[in-house]
Chains A and B, each alone.
Chain A
């Protein structure tokens, strides 16, 4: 079974802090994704990566950056956290090809105070 592990299930940070969310997958997948999920808005793609050191902006990249130094690890960084970044963050990975399903981590519920 594919395992996607997110470093924290719940996280509370303060406005202005730099926040790191970590995601690790164990299936040697090329593609990794970061989403946020908010009530009424569904899942929205923040960033994704096809390969090590590669990244592409998703639909809502503002206020975020990412890092993929190793194939199995994809980090989401909130440069200066703001209250509107309070959300559920979901990491996913998939193999190459459009028909490959995405496998999600358990999610990190992040609160910015």
Chain B
């Protein structure tokens, strides 16, 4: 089983709609969680960190469920510019490294 798993998609989303997707992680010792965004043929960029209590950044909401070992990302009022691959990233202090999921591709269409 992969350490960090994501539905590869694509999620085809009408402009203005809401889309949500999850990421599961296998190691309960995981400590920090992030969502990165990667545009086609570009480098990944940090979208937001994920805090235990859940957090929002504009139209983006991230949640962490430690009991079920998953994090989620919700995008409200989707824009065409939200089309990208969203990478789930998990940090464990042991080993001091990040593990990336394979990414979920989101396509927002007019």
- A interface residues with partner B (beta carbon < 8 Å): 31, 33, 35, 40-45, 48, 50, 56, 58, 90, 98-99, 101-107
Count contacts between A and B, CB distance < 8 Å.
47
A41 to B100, CA, bound (A): 10
Nearest chain B residue, comparing its CB with the CB of A99: B32
Which residues of chain B are near A101, meaning CB under 8 Å?
34, 46, 49
- B interface residues with partner A (beta carbon < 8 Å): 8, 31-32, 34, 42-46, 49, 87, 91, 93, 96-103
Given contacts A41-B102, A42-B87, A42-B103, contact A98 B45 (CB under 8 A): no
Given contacts A98-B91, A98-B96, A99-B32, contact A104 B49 (CB under 8 A): no
Among B93, B96, B100, the residue within 8 A (CB) of A42 is B100
Selected A-B contacts with CB under 8 Å, 17 pairs: A31-B96, A42-B102, A42-B103, A43-B87, A45-B97, A48-B97, A56-B97, A90-B43, A90-B44, A98-B31, A98-B32, A98-B93, A99-B91, A101-B34, A101-B49, A102-B98, A107-B43
